[in-house]
Amino acid sequence: MESFCRMRNVMWGACRGGEIKEYELGFILQLAQEYPNLTSVFMDDVSEILKSTQYTVEEKQHIFMNMLKRSRDVLNQADRKLDTYITWYWHDDPVPGMLDYVDGLSLWTWDSRELPLLKERFEALEKKCQGLKLMLGIYMYDFKNRKPISDDMMEMQCNYALELLKEKRIEGVIFHANTVMGVNMPSEHWLRRWIDQVKNTEIPD
């Protein structure tokens, strides 16, 4: 956190392997006391349980909702509101009641062949999640098909994300950089050039 002390809003990760540990949330509460710029908690892959084959649909949803509720109960002990974001994929419909326990979603397209559906899918989910904060996730590498994202698909999703930012329809953009930056992928070089081109674009608060 000390290295992020000059940033206004820091999101801290709190989920490993799809499971939220309460001791991690307790640690975040301690950090939040010391660093007022820690404003949000980010729970990646928390929806993994919904893909399990060990339980019925009802059981999976119960486990998932219970995990979110317990997390919210812990975070409510903070001396200020800490927003909760979770990773969400387009092919999953929101679980009934889950929006009561999260403040935002980061939205991702796992299969790059489905990126042409990005605008249609965003608008559909936007209607279902009114009042929720949304962030757009952008992959540079297609892990499903094991290849870099093509230049035309990078251009499409990045320009669409910038359009949504300017319209204040999303809170921000997340570039998935872990394990794929610095390995000479064409999509990384494309992204660097794009950021240089648009970096002075004014975004409304």
Domain extents for the chain? 2-198
Top CATH class of 2-198 equals: alpha beta
Q: What are phi and psi of 17, to 5 degrees?
A: 60, 30
Reduced to 3 DSSP states, what percent helix, strand and coil does the chain have, rounded to the nearest 5?
45, 20, 35
Residues in Cβ contact with 82 at an 8 Å cutoff, skipping those fewer than 6 apart: 28, 32, 38, 39, 40, 41, 75
Average pLDDT over residues 149-172: 97
pLDDT tens digits, 73-125: 999 999 999 999 998 887 667 788 888 899 999 999 999 999 999 999 999 98
Summarize pLDDT for 45-79 with one digit per residue, the tens.
888 888 888 889 899 889 889 989 999 999 999 99
